[in-house]
Amino acid sequence: MTRPDIAVVGGGLLGRCLAWRASRAGARVVLYDAAGSEGEGSAAWVAAGMIAPTTEAMDADTQIASMGRHSLTLWPRWLAELPVPVFYHENGTLLLWHREDAGEAVRAQRMLASRHSQACVKRLESGRIDELEPALGTRFSEALHIPGEAQVDNRAFLKAVAIALEDSGVECHWKTFGMGAKYNWPQLRGVRGEIVRLHAPEIELHHMLRLLHPRYPVYIVPRAEGRLVVGATSIEGEDRSPVSVRGALELLTSAYSMLPALAEARILEFSTQVRPALPNHLPALHFDRERNTLYINGLYRHGFLLTPTIVEEVLALLSFLEPSTPVGRWPCLREKRTETLSADIQDSWEIQTCLS
Ligand SMILES: Cc1cc2nc3c(=O)[nH]c(=O)nc-3n(C[C@H](O)[C@H](O)[C@H](O)COP(=O)(O)OP(=O)(O)OC[C@H]3O[C@@H](n4cnc5c(N)ncnc54)[C@H](O)[C@@H]3O)c2cc1C
């Protein structure tokens, strides 16, 4: 390849998508990743693939919700441009709680009302829950329904993007190490997540289920062919060792308390990975003028939720999109955050000048 326009180091979720979209926009791209083409070394490989701006942002900055809502408009377009179909559902989320945790539901409703005035949240009584999600029966007397939230089969997506990269001539160097992100961004830290994949073809679920619980806020995400993803623990640290007994018990006990029919489900896999987080739990861009390098990190537990929006922003900054594409809509990606960055974020003009 003649000199590339962009060299991407790290082809898990964000880097892989950036390489794909940049090459579609006409850039010559080269990609390096320490693991293989399926993305098996990434947090994205382990993730549940939820794109749930309202639910996630109950405990996060409101910018996460607005960027996530924008991503929801981009996901269907991205998927339509992939060479192979990828499982994607937009059936929304049901928030559930056990009677003794009614306080959690009150807290959730307050957060939703105060942070998401535009969010459409419907309160459901038992009969309506049974109609929407028959597998739950009349087990819960109340629930909150958040329509429109989506989920994507994370592994099928990573694979499909790898095929798209090959089709579009992106030079991919799998199993090749570059410099680790932490070296240049010491404030980055890992948050371990444990997750379990089940097979339960006899259980038909239509929505993502989330349990509102003070200690074990687990979710169940239904996938194609009777597969279910149950996650996830959140433990400070970068330990990627196998799932602990405590983690397994917490995930399975809470999931079973929501859906007792899981008793006969088969355990396909337990897995762990580390979510990349910055101190404020927001994503950020960091431009290193000396190295002519743009660092993008801190996607934490929101990679699938935020990646299309961040990729769009980065390609606009690098002038690979139509000049009419708005830039700088997401303050957390532009703000000068001296507490998190080892160098100042430059404004779009300066980034464009330096990289050109
Ligand atoms: C259990 C769990 C559940 C999750 N569920 C969700 C969810 O439902 N919804 C959601 O939005 N997000 C979820 N996430 C978060 C999401 O997975 C991450 O935010 C996202 O994957 C981060 O994307 P990334 O590209 O920054 O990192 P990654 O996806 O981790 O990719 C990093 C890549 O860099 C490569 N790499 C590392 N070091 C080097 C090096 N030195 N040289 C070259 N390559 C290197 C790795 O091999 C990897 O492929 C979850 C995460 C976990 C752990």
> Taking the model in full, what pTM does it have?
0.94
Query: What are the helix (H) ranges across 81-187?
Result: 102-115, 126-132, 154-167, 181-184
Q: Does 235 sit in the ligand 1 pocket, CB within 6 Å? A: no
Q: What is the pLDDT of residue 340?
A: 39
Q: Does 195 sit in the ligand 1 pocket, CB within 6 Å? A: yes
Sort strands 50-51 and 171-173 into parallel, antiparallel or unpaired: unpaired
Residues 120 and 1 in one domain: no
Kindly provide the b/e burial profile for residues 39-75, where b requires at least 16 CB atoms within 10 angstroms of the residue's own CB: bebbbbbbbbbbbbbbbbbbebeebbbbbbbbbbebb
CA distance 130 to 140: 9
Q: Does 16 sit in the ligand 1 pocket, CB within 6 Å? A: no
Residue 208 Cα to ligand 1 midpoint, Å, equals 21
Tell me if 98 is assigned to some domain: yes
Closest CA to 236 of 184, 193, 183, 280: 193
Residues 137 and 286 in one domain: no
Tell me if 254 is assigned to some domain: no
Q: Whose CA is nearest to atom 41 of ligand 1?
A: 180
Residues 118 and 134 in one domain: yes
Tell me if 68 is assigned to some domain: yes
Residues 98 and 64 in one domain: no
For position 82, which CATH number holds? 3.50.50.60
Residue 353 Cα to ligand 1 midpoint, Å, equals 30
Q: What is the pLDDT of residue 19?
A: 98
Q: Does 177 sit in the ligand 1 pocket, CB within 6 Å? A: yes
Tell me if 260 is assigned to some domain: no
Residue ranges in the chain whose pLDDT is less than 50:
336-356
CA distance 124 to 221: 20
Q: Does 39 sit in the ligand 1 pocket, CB within 6 Å? A: yes
Residue 133 Cα to ligand 1 midpoint, Å, equals 31
Tell me if 345 is assigned to some domain: yes
Tell me if 333 is assigned to some domain: yes
Sort strands 227-231 and 189-199 into parallel, antiparallel or unpaired: antiparallel
Residue 23 Cα to ligand 1 midpoint, Å, equals 21
Q: What is the pLDDT of residue 319?
A: 87
Query: Domain tally for the chain?
Result: 2
Q: Does 232 sit in the ligand 1 pocket, CB within 6 Å? A: yes
Tell me if 211 is assigned to some domain: no
Q: Does 283 sit in the ligand 1 pocket, CB within 6 Å? A: no
Q: What is the pLDDT of residue 242?
A: 98
Closest CA to 282 of 262, 303, 268: 303
Q: Does 13 sit in the ligand 1 pocket, CB within 6 Å? A: yes
Q: Tell me the DSSP string of 198-258.
A: EE-TT----SEEEE--SS---EEEE-GGGEEEEE---EEB---SPPPHHHHHHHHHHHHHH
The H or E element spanning position 75 is helix 62-80
**Residue that the structure tokens 């640290």 belong to:** 237
pLDDT tens-place string over residues 113-158: 887 665 688 999 989 999 999 999 999 999 999 999 999 999 999 9
Residues 50 and 182 in one domain: yes
Residues 108 and 168 in one domain: no
Residues 39 and 114 in one domain: no
Q: Does 273 sit in the ligand 1 pocket, CB within 6 Å? A: yes
DSSP helix/strand/coil, 270: strand
Q: Whose CA is nearest to atom 18 of ligand 1?
A: 303
Q: Does 32 sit in the ligand 1 pocket, CB within 6 Å? A: yes
Residues 106 and 40 in one domain: no
Q: Does 46 sit in the ligand 1 pocket, CB within 6 Å? A: yes
pLDDT tens-place string over residues 162-173: 999 999 999 999
The domain of 303 spans: 1-91+149-188+278-356
Query: Which ligand 1 atom is nearest residue 179's CA?
Result: 41
Residue 140 Cα to ligand 1 midpoint, Å, equals 34
CA distance 131 to 236: 39
Q: Does 182 sit in the ligand 1 pocket, CB within 6 Å? A: no
CA distance 8 to 293: 10
Contact 270, 245 (CB under 8 A): no
Q: Does 43 sit in the ligand 1 pocket, CB within 6 Å? A: yes
Q: Does 231 sit in the ligand 1 pocket, CB within 6 Å? A: yes
Tell me if 184 is assigned to some domain: yes
Q: What is the pLDDT of residue 117?
A: 60
Residues 184 and 282 in one domain: yes
Q: What CA–CA distances, in Å, run from 252 to 89, 105, 308, 309?
A: 24, 21, 32, 33
Q: Does 287 sit in the ligand 1 pocket, CB within 6 Å? A: no
Contact 138, 124 (CB under 8 A): no
Residues 36 and 176 in one domain: yes
Residues 179 and 327 in one domain: yes
Residue 299 Cα to ligand 1 midpoint, Å, equals 8
Q: Which of 42, 158, 241, 333 to mutate to test the pocket of ligand 1 (most atoms within 8 A of CB)?
A: 42
Residues 309 and 184 in one domain: yes
Q: What is the pLDDT of residue 332?
A: 87
Q: Whose CA is nearest to atom 33 of ligand 1?
A: 12
